[in-house]
Amino acid sequence: MSHIPVLLNEVLEIFDPKSGENYIDATLGEGGHTREIIKRIAPNGRVLGIDWDGESLEHFKKDIEFEGKDRVITVRGNYADLKKYGEEAGFRDVKGILFDLGWSSIQLGAVKGLSFNESDEELDMRFEGDGESARDIVNSYKEEDIANIIYEYGGERYSRRIAKAIVEARRKKKIETAGDLVEILTQVLPRRYEGGRIHPATRTFQALRIYVNHELENIEKGLRAAVEVLGEGGKIVVVSFHSLEDRLIKNLFREEANKKTITILTKKPIRATREEIIHNPRARSAKLRAAQLL
């Protein structure tokens, strides 16, 4: 697997890492950004690399080699708790914290029920084994709550219709698999859903995934923690891939800026250049926002 880091030059330009500085990579992944930061903070600057996904972290530790890797301290955990991890690792005067949000396609493939093309898979969707699964939600939540989740996190305008169909279907038979849900959706949505541009299940599956994994809540907690952990003049850089995330980041930065804790460095989000998008299509939807601690 080879993951090309998104907006790498832009991230480096904003951080402008210097010898001896300490950084936190809240979403280590394959360390694409971290390895470039590590070079610039040599010989003794360190990076604390956090990732929620144990397999990803093992892959980083075992298979990825670069000079200065021994100065990357890895932690398996949720970036919502980054303050705790920073303290435990003795990271003070942190110069920059990076969030490169989202999941790799390999990670998405490893979680059950995320893909509406894998119809036999259990409708689970949890990246971590605890908490409620998507199956628990569609089989037990009130119709109105299901509709709200699908509307809020999926931007699905047929949310009420879908929620009603889910509740009717589960009276007859428990919804167990991704395929069970896809069947309900295809029956209730217009045949030419969105002019055929996207699968009728896209928005509902996205909404359930975001809800089940508390994705927006984690981003919010992570960003608030980042503001507390940074040293004076330290910077937060966030790369996001869909509009719900970007809106949350924009609003949270504004709120903190009004409190005079940070200043916003990107009036508008930075987008990838055409050249980057040609080499890495994933960069097409990436938006970068940055802020600096006052």
- Residue 51 or 256: the one with the smaller Cβ distance to ligand SAM is 51
**Does 218 help bind ligand SAM (rule: CB under 6 A)?**
yes
Contacts of 98 (CB under 8 A, 6+ apart): 11, 15, 23, 24, 25, 26, 27, 33, 37, 237, 238, 239
Question: Least distance (Å) from ligand SAM to the CB of residue 195?
Answer: 30
Q: Output 100 or 276, the one with its CB closest to ligand SAM.
A: 100
CB atoms within 10 A of CB 292: 16
User: Within 13 Å and on the Cβ side, how many CA atoms surround 151?
Assistant: 13
Q: Residue 185 — φ and ψ, nearest 5°?
A: -65, -45
Of residues 103 and 211, the one with the C-beta less far from ligand SAM: 103
Query: Which residue from 194, 174, 198 is spatially nearest to 184, judged by alpha carbons?
Result: 174
Give the residue, chosen from 22, 74, 78, 204, that forms a contact with ligand SAM under the rule CB under 6 A. 78
Is the CB of residue 2 less than 8 Å from the CB of residue 12?
Answer: no
SS3 of residue 239 by DSSP: strand
DSSP characters for 19-59? TT-EEEETT-TT-HHHHHHHHHTTTT--EEEEES-HHHHHH
Tell me: does residue 100 bind ligand SAM (CB under 6 A). Answer: yes
Mark the segment that binds ligand SAM (CB under 6 A) among 30-38, 137-145, 147-155, 259-267: 30-38
17 binds ligand SAM (CB under 6 A): no
| 79 belongs to the binding site for ligand SAM (CB under 6 A) | yes
Which stretch in 101-109, 131-139, 146-154, 175-183 sits in contact with ligand SAM by CB under 6 A? 101-109
Shortest Å distance, C-beta 227 to ligand SAM: 17
Using the rule CB under 6 A, is 83 a contact of ligand SAM? Answer: no
Could you tell me which stretch among 48-56, 135-143, 185-193, 195-203 binds ligand SAM (CB under 6 A)? 48-56
Are 145 and 157 within 8 A, CB to CB? no
Q: Which residues contact 12 (CB under 8 A, 6 or more apart)?
A: 36, 37, 40
The residue (of 33 and 287) whose beta carbon lies closer to ligand SAM is 33
102 near ligand SAM (CB under 6 A)? yes
Report the site for ligand SAM in 49-68 (rule: CB under 6 A): 50-53, 56
CB of 48 to ligand SAM, least distance (A): 12
The whole-angstrom separation of Cα 238 and Cα 64 is: 24
Name the residue nearer to ligand SAM (CB basis): 124 or 180.
Answer: 124
C-alpha angle with apex 98: 93 to 101, nearest 5 degrees?
150
Among 238, 229, 286, 291, residue whose Cα is nearest residue 264:
291
Residue 60 CB contacts under 8 Å (≥ 6 apart), including other chains: 28, 29, 30, 31, 49, 51, 74
Minimum CB–partner distance for residue 220 and ligand SAM (Å): 11
Q: Binding to ligand SAM by residue 206, rule CB under 6 A?
A: no
CB closer to ligand SAM out of 48 and 185: 48
In the complex, the smallest distance separating the C-beta of residue 64 from ligand SAM, rounded to whole angstroms, is 9
Positions touching ligand SAM (CB under 6 A) are 3, 5, 27, 29-33, 50-53, 56, 78-79, 100, 102-104, 107, 218
